[in-house]
Amino acid sequence: MTNSKSIKGVLFDLDGTILDTANDLGAALNHVLTHYKLPIVSPEIFRPVASDGAKGLLELGFGKAIENYDYETLRTMFLNFYENNIATHTTLYDGISELIAHLDKQSIAWGIVTNKPEGLTKKLLPYFSELNSSQVMVGGDSLNERKPHPAPLLYSLEKINVNAEQCFYVGDAPRDIEAGKRANMPTIIAGWGYIDDLAQCSNWQADHTLMSPLDIIKLL
């Protein structure tokens, strides 16, 4: 396991790790469901699926009936509503601003590697000035590959000029940990994110499972 004292960088997933975007994503889902006169989904049902983006949420809301609709039409309606209401209910997770301030003060490079489309990510991030010091941002369509492929992480490591074994990757989904492991990075499960049952995370084989962003400061 990596000696935390040798850590020179931290890369983060976005939704469910840095930002709690679930209520805005859920609102986009419910907008589409309402349009088709289908029952809306409550927050406790859509929150655990928020990290799976438009596809996961639409499949949750429509169930097997999704086969009866044109998926691209549903996705476009979802994304248009989401883009127009992108930061209505979205908040930074408690402890993130303190963590970012600590990383900046210690000159530890950091950045964001998300499967959220790059255009939406670029539209969302300016609402949170705390995130202005991010040194790299890779979206789900920035490269030819996305997580769980390690390419976005390897690209980001190059951009921040940090070796894989000296950089944490923090995320709240199995694809995050898989991508980190495939990039030979030490990995952290964001236990504060969209994880329904932390007991399920043991088979992800992450290096650490933490319950608050502030725990990363302790680790460093």
Whether 153 and 178 have beta carbons less than 8 Å apart is answered as: no
Spatial neighbors of 115 by CB under 8 A, at least 6 apart, are 53, 139, 140, 146, 147, 175
Question: Which of these, 214, 187, 155, 145, lies nearest to 13 by C-alpha position?
Answer: 187
How does 82-108 read in b/e, with b if 16+ C-beta sit within 10 Å? beeebeeebebbebbbebbeebeeeeb
Query: From CA 47, how far away is CA 98, in angstroms rounded?
Result: 24
176 is catalytic: no
Whether 188 and 169 have beta carbons less than 8 Å apart is answered as: yes
Question: Catalytic residues, which ones?
Answer: 13
